[in-house]
Amino acid sequence: MGNPWEKIDLSDYENHMSLDSVFQLQTMNQMMKEQFYAYPVKSVMILGIAGGNGLEHINRQTIDKVYGVDINESYLNACKVRYPKLQGIFETIHADLTKSTKALPCADLIIANLFIEYIGYECFLKVVEQVEAKYVSCIIQVNTDLSFVSDSPYIHTFDRLQEVHHQMEEEALIHVMSKAGYKKMEHRERNLPNGKKLVRIDFSC
């Protein structure tokens, strides 16, 4: 049947994420602005880039290369249309990272926001080892209830995500990253309107 992310319409995803009751698109946008410039890097790889939320914060004078990785090719095409100012430094990579990481080049910084949940710790570890990034910045979602998808008119768009979803725990992520030689550097939290929260955890090797 394929990965469910290949079938989710970008407008449904973004409309859901930007609802006042969810407010994840807006919150992650500001968190990404901080992620881009937290460390002295020239190249950035964004895993699960979707429609490119946050790319408007890229300063070409500071960052030389941006890789956008996603399993959904239509998402990547939308990124290229939306951000023509990044032409020449922005490269898209269409890949299913649960099957292979060989398409990934090296980069100074990996950004993985609400992404590890959909490939699991061990697959993510293979990604990190392939990219050989100096810094890794992750955002995971902490749930206050049993549902990892917030209630909204679009909720049934995400019904199949439970097939690929892995519940995230900060300490488990820290342990996995330590196996690759990375140490935790930063921890920041942002509360969301529905009681959930986004937790940013940064690592360096």
46-87 pLDDT tens trace: 999 999 999 999 999 999 999 999 999 999 999 999 999 999
User: Across the strands, what pairs with 179?
Assistant: none
* pTM (predicted TM-score): 0.94
Q: Nearest Cα to 34, choosing from 203, 162, 204, 200?
A: 200
Q: Within 13 A of 194's CA, how many CA atoms are on the CB side?
A: 24
State pLDDT tens for residues 81-133.
999 999 999 999 999 999 999 999 999 999 999 999 999 999 999 999 999 99
**All domains in the chain, ordered by first residue:** 4-204 (3.40.50.150)
